[in-house]
Chain A
Amino acid sequence: MLRNSLRTTNSVCVRGFSTSSIARLAEPIENVKTKTPIDSISSSLFLSRVPIVTPTLGEFEKQYYKYQDELQRRLMWSFPYYYYFKKSSLAEAAFFKNQKWPISKEEGVFYPKGTPNIKHLRERSEKQVINVKEEEDENSKFKKESDVVKPIVPNSRITDADVKKDLKSLERKLDSTLYLIVQDKKSSEWKFPSFKYNAEERISALDEYATENIQNISQKDFNMFTVTNTPIHVVKYDSSNKVVNNASTNVASKEYIIKSHILAGDFVLNQKESQFKDYLWLSGEELPEYLSKDYYKQVEFLLADY
């Protein structure tokens, strides 16, 4: 009931987006007393493509995982071959043929790496390696397994778009999040796409407004998932259209950022019908090259971890 009444009157005090009982204000109320008219408000879209592959590991991480893996193998129990292969069967013989046997203990021999300690055909002080290589018999009239079943080759983590450095492709940089930025026709500045409200039209919600407008300026259809109807950030500008960093400067216009992910389809800019002349899909690391310093400083913390 309260929320419904709130749409019509502004006098009712309801805390928006509050999970804590103490509403923490980022800036004192005196500064926001001057209200911005609706035609200076815009809804900005933080559209991202989530990573398709897991993050690329650093050198230290790789070595650490390798070390842990080796430790685990060293501490593993021996393989109970006698359970899987019947004694003196052909399968057992084939299995034995593939194995590399540990050195056995003999009397009167000095072993520099320690006296062999073998149980279940395994040297107990080392990891056990089981070879399951397919037996190759050239005279066999049967086809080898590798001829019938294609060996599994994983797809490359580096795609054609990476090689061609195609900054407009959604198939580039699979291991990091990509963000859509557009270039304004007038100022030729790169920013997240933002759409100004029109005072004469009916006011629609920030998320709906941004979603509708971005679909309108695209030549192709695409599917997107808007995370929340609550704006994740507000970027303020002064009268000369510069980003306001401190609370004392007068605010002329504002951009409320809505968070969203692209799921399928492509965004292809329709230049004729929009205020933007170009678009790019960039990773978080590439963004500072294109965004202005002040703007990047404002949105940096919104970027995903990888």
Chain B
Amino acid sequence: MLTNTIKLQSGLGLSLSQRIMPASASISSMMAGTISSQFTRGKRTKSKSTMSQGTQRVVGQLSVMSAARKQPLRLKLTNEDLVRHQVVHNAWAMLQKQKRQVREEKLTKQFEAMQSAMEDLKHGVEDGGVLFGFGSKFEKTKKRVSLELRVPTEYPPNQVWNHKYSKSD
């Protein structure tokens, strides 16, 4: 109680005493042991804790990141709900697997089609291998995807398609 009253007094009279008597202010702050030289916005006049305000602020910030008192109750599913959850999960996994398989099959087919087209170009065309040569030519600088290709978004842009394109630009 005694320290509290000292704190209160020194806290209230700080600005005045600092202006008039800086020496005495430093003495009172030493006595209280709570007032830090650090500037804090919105200084409390009443303080229950013995922590300095800087420390209090850090504790407040850390508490935002900590799970204490903020975690919800554990999810307790009934057997029926658990089965339902597993069914949903399995159905989703199955759908993804099906999609993946279809995709892989398609990609294999596309790869083989490219290969057979090139074999055909090599052996089955009366052009002295010119077309095959062009088709299998590798550029020294790697071909890059054009920057004008757009990544699909959830909603279309204001200008859906650029109709004003001319070669001279």
- A and B bind: yes
Closest B residue to A17 by beta carbon equals: B118
A59 nearest CB across to chain B (Å):
12
- Asked if A83 meets B126 with Cβ closer than 8 Å, knowing A117-B73, A124-B72, A230-B118, the reply is no
Stretch from A99-107, A142-150, A152-160, A185-193 forming part of the interface with B: A152-160
A119 B69 Cβ-Cβ under 8 A: yes
B119 A16 Cβ-Cβ under 8 A: yes
Q: Counting chain A CB atoms within 10 Å of each CB, which of B131, B137, B152, B158 scores highest?
A: B131
Q: Is B109 an interface residue (CB 8 A)?
A: yes
Question: For B71, what are the chain A residues with a Cβ–Cβ distance below 8 Å?
Answer: 77-78, 124
> In the docked arrangement, what's the CA distance between A55 and B103, Å?
16
Closest A residue to B107 by beta carbon equals: A301
Closest A residue to B69 by beta carbon equals: A119
Question: For B69, what are the chain A residues with a Cβ–Cβ distance below 8 Å?
Answer: 78, 119-120
Contact of B131 among A41, A117, A266 (CB under 8 A): A41
A234 B117 Cβ-Cβ under 8 A: yes
A54 B154 Cβ-Cβ under 8 A: yes
> In the docked arrangement, what's the CA distance between A67 and B156, Å?
26
Question: For A261, what are the chain B residues with a Cβ–Cβ distance below 8 Å?
Answer: 146, 149
Stretch from B8-16, B25-33, B60-68 forming part of the interface with A: B60-68
B99 nearest CB across to chain A (Å):
8
A80 nearest CB across to chain B (Å):
5
Q: Is B4 an interface residue (CB 8 A)?
A: no
Question: For A171, what are the chain B residues with a Cβ–Cβ distance below 8 Å?
Answer: 160-161
> In the docked arrangement, what's the CA distance between A205 and B134, Å?
5
Question: For B110, what are the chain A residues with a Cβ–Cβ distance below 8 Å?
Answer: 232, 301-302
Contact of B64 among A53, A75, A83, A208 (CB under 8 A): A83
- Asked if A155 meets B103 with Cβ closer than 8 Å, knowing A25-B116, A229-B134, A301-B113, the reply is no
Chain B interface size range: 35 or more
Chain A interface size range: 35 or more
A32 B131 Cβ-Cβ under 8 A: no
B72 nearest CB across to chain A (Å):
5
- Asked if A6 meets B129 with Cβ closer than 8 Å, knowing A23-B115, A231-B121, the reply is yes
Q: Is B83 an interface residue (CB 8 A)?
A: no
Question: For B148, what are the chain A residues with a Cβ–Cβ distance below 8 Å?
Answer: 223, 225, 263-264
Q: Is B70 an interface residue (CB 8 A)?
A: yes
B60 nearest CB across to chain A (Å):
6
Contact of B116 among A3, A14, A26, A203 (CB under 8 A): A26
A50 B149 Cβ-Cβ under 8 A: yes
Question: For A263, what are the chain B residues with a Cβ–Cβ distance below 8 Å?
Answer: 146, 148-149
CB under 8 Å from chain B, chain A span 19-55: 23-27, 29, 32-38, 41, 50-55
Q: Is A222 an interface residue (CB 8 A)?
A: yes
Given contacts A16-B136, A230-B118, 4 further A-B contacts (CB under 8 A): A3-B138, A155-B160, A232-B110, A301-B110
Which 3 A-B pairs give the minimum distances between C-beta atoms?
A: A26-B116, A265-B165, A205-B134
